[in-house]
Structure formats: C-alpha cells, structure tokens
Amino acid sequence: MIMQPKLNIVPFVSVDRMMKLVLAIGVERFLTELAGYIEDDFRRWELFDKTPRVASHSHDGVIELMPTSDGKLYGFKYVNGHPKNMREGLQTVTAFGVLADVGNGYPMLLTEMTILTALRTAAMSAVAAKHLAPKGARTMAIIGNGAQSEFQAIAFKALTGVDRLRLYDIDSSASRKCAKNLAGMGFDITICATGQEAVEGAEIITTVTADKLSATILTDNMVGPGVHINAVGGDCPGKTELHRDILLRSDIFVEFPPQTRIEGEIQQLAADHPVIELWQVIAGKAEGRRNGRQITLFDSVGFAIEDFSALRYVRDQLQATGLYEELDLLADPDEPRDLFGMLLRAKAAAAA
C-alpha cells in the first residue's frame, strides 16, 4: 500500500507515467501479471457488486461509466467509444478511472486508462483463450489492426504462445503499422488482402474492428471446426462483427450476461440463448473447450471487474516504482466541519 500521510493527496498516474510504468515493467510481464489479477478477481466473482455499465448513446458514439466493488475497494472507469474519431485524428476509445477505499469513500488512485484499457482488454482476451483456444494454437488472425491490435498480439504471445499472425484491415496502412510495431518481438507476420485470407490456417480469430453499425467481419463459411473466436469489437447495441449463423454453431462464453445480451454479439440471439459465464470456467465450475471440433466464442464486451483488476494492479506497482504524481484532489480541512473556514483561511493567505 502507498503511504498517504496527506489525506487530500491522491496518487495520479498520467499518460506519461503509465507509459513509463509499462516500459519499466515490460509489456509482456505487465500483461501476464495483469492477467493474474483478472483471474484472481474472476475467481471471487460472486463477491462483487455487478451492474451492466451505464451507457449514454449519441449519434456518433457512446460514453459509459463502469462501476464495481468487492466490499473493500470501489472502482469505476469512464470510457467512450466513437468509431468516427479515428478519421478525425482522435482515439476511438479514451478512458480514465478511480479506485477508492470503501471504508471512508476517499479515492486512492486516479489514473489514465486509455492505455490501461488496451492492456486489460488484451489480457482478458488471452485469459479467455487460455481456457478456450485449441491446445498448442500458434496462429492467430487479427481483423482490425487499430489501437488495440498490438496489445492483443502480445498478450496472446505471452499467455498462450501465439507466434504467427495473419493481419487484415480494410485500411492496409493500419496492418502495416501493426506489423511494424510488432517487428522484432518474435512474431511471424503475414499481411493479408482479405478477411478470408487472414483466417486461412488460423486456430484463433480475433476481430477488433470499429464501426458504429453492425458489420459482418466474419461470415459463416470463414469459420471452420475447432477455431476459437475472440470477438472484441462488437460491444454496443447495434454494433456487432459476426454473422448470426456463426453464433448458432458456437459455444458462447461471456463476461456478465445482463450486459453482454445488450452489447455483445449475442444481441442477435434470443434473450434466453444459452451462454457460459467465463468466471465459472476460470473458477473450475464450468467446462471450457471440450474437444478439437468445438467452435468456442469469447463474446467480449469489457466488464467493470476487469478494470477493477487493472486499477488494483496499477496501484500495487506505485510504491516500488514511484511512477505517480501527487494530486491535490480532496478538500480535507483539519476540522472536518470547517470546510468554509478553510476557504476563508485561503482568502486570508492570498491577501497576505
């Protein structure tokens, strides 16, 4: 735990400090350790407050709040999703988050979460694949080569041993960027001209595209028996990536069903279509992959507990690394009821 002698001060991790933190720890180690925190929290899933995220939809995107608590700590993330942003030179997804002490309600950490979301999403995908992908899978197609894509590749390498990538994006410059960023990291990379070409020989298919409307990134004929699909980009009402027929042939694993039924690929299915909660697989209460012919689908939308795990992980790194700033965030007068007096003393001090 970080010493917090001054109660007004909240440790703040800026984008600059987050980048230094990730580089100091190493991206692969960061993803592996973060995956461990996610698995720990998924094993105690039943303890958490759970609610579908609070989404404010607009014409161009969505702004969401993602709260949860384990009874000791409370966390939330603010995150947006605006697919048109990228064409305007802005990020599709930006985020920041807070971790707080349930005992007194005081925030204990404020951090950037744009980079952290990419890391946690990738760590979550790789955790799911550990339980669901065919054993020994080494080849992954990544369709959609934007901001999330390299993080996905590195997480799968670190956690599942994937070392052959087949990249496809409607914008080939995105695939070239992804391949360039991953050069020298131990991948054998092929840039493909179509989605169909990308999935050839792939044991794992990751879809991580951004479009405001429902797209069909994978058609039924593109998915053969035994494949694991990591569907990341369909995460809003009316925003999906897979043809419905694929869902009907797959065993579907989800984070929190009440949220995924609104936001995930399964919004295309009946409200009672059977799904398996991933936490149950991680906790050993449900089976993951059963055989070599089964199609497994992780219908990822991103759930608050993953962000909670990421906030916990970052907080646990701060003391050893010192990679945070002290933010004067909380008004905390010595005499708790004298908040106005504190204002008056500040006025007197400014006048002096």
Tokens of 161: 């041993």
Closest distance between ligand NAD and the C-beta of residue 160, in Å?
Answer: 18
Nearer to ligand NAD among residue 1 and residue 213 (C-beta): 213
Nearer to ligand NAD among residue 92 and residue 108 (C-beta): 92
Contact with ligand NAD (CB under 6 A) among 60, 171, 287, 328: 171
Strand order in the sheet with 107-112: 54-57, 62-69, 73-81, 95-101, 107-112, 9-13, 325-328
Distance CA 49, CA 65 (A): 14
- Going by C-alpha positions, the residue among 11, 72, 26 that lies closest to residue 315 is 11
CB-CB contact of 24 with 314 (8 Å)? no
CB-CB contact of 123 with 185 (8 Å)? no
CB-CB contact of 315 with 308 (8 Å)? no
Closest distance between ligand NAD and the C-beta of residue 81, in Å?
Answer: 4
Q: Stretches 21-29, 68-76, 146-154, 272-280: which one binds ligand NAD (CB under 6 A)?
A: 146-154
Closest distance between ligand NAD and the C-beta of residue 195, in Å?
Answer: 6
Contact with ligand NAD (CB under 6 A) among 69, 146, 253, 317: 146
Active-site residue flag, 220:
no
Contact with ligand NAD (CB under 6 A) among 38, 129, 215, 254: 215
Q: Stretches 15-23, 163-171, 179-187, 309-317: which one binds ligand NAD (CB under 6 A)?
A: 163-171
Considering only residues 284-343, where is the footprint of ligand NAD by CB under 6 A?
Answer: 300-302
Closest distance between ligand NAD and the C-beta of residue 174, in Å?
Answer: 4
Interaction pattern, residues 42-81, with ligand NAD; x per rule: CB under 6 A: ---------------------------------------x
Phi, psi of 327 (to 5 degrees): -105, 125
- Going by C-alpha positions, the residue among 203, 262, 271, 207 that lies closest to residue 238 is 262
- Going by C-alpha positions, the residue among 234, 229, 227, 228 that lies closest to residue 208 is 234
Q: Kindly give the pairing relationship between strand 95-101 and strand 73-81.
A: antiparallel
**Residues 212, 157, 98: CA angle, nearest 5 degrees:** 55
Closest distance between ligand NAD and the C-beta of residue 226, in Å?
Answer: 23
Tokens of 99: 């971790």
Contact with ligand NAD (CB under 6 A) among 233, 256, 278, 324: 233
Nearer to ligand NAD among residue 27 and residue 232 (C-beta): 232
The dihedral built from the CA positions of residue 224, 225, 231 and 236, taken in this order, carries a sign that is positive
Interaction pattern, residues 99-118, with ligand NAD; x per rule: CB under 6 A: ------------------x-
Q: Stretches 14-22, 164-172, 220-228, 276-284: which one binds ligand NAD (CB under 6 A)?
A: 164-172
Place of tokens 């930006």: 94
Asked if 152 interacts with ligand NAD (CB under 6 A), we say no
- Annotated active-site residue in 169, 235, 299, 307: 235
Residue ranges of the alpha helices (H) in the chain?
15-25, 27-43, 114-132, 149-160, 172-181, 195-199, 244-249, 257-263, 278-282, 304-321, 339-351
Contact with ligand NAD (CB under 6 A) among 41, 112, 203, 235: 235
Nearer to ligand NAD among residue 80 and residue 318 (C-beta): 80
Q: Hey, what long-range contacts does 91-95 have (CB within 8 A, 24 or more apart)?
A: 91/147, 92/146, 92/147, 92/210, 93/117, 93/118, 93/147, 93/148
Where in the sequence numbering do the catalytic residues fall? 235
Residues making contact with ligand NAD (CB under 6 A): 81, 86, 92-93, 117, 121, 143-148, 169-171, 174, 208-211, 215, 217, 232-233, 235, 300-302
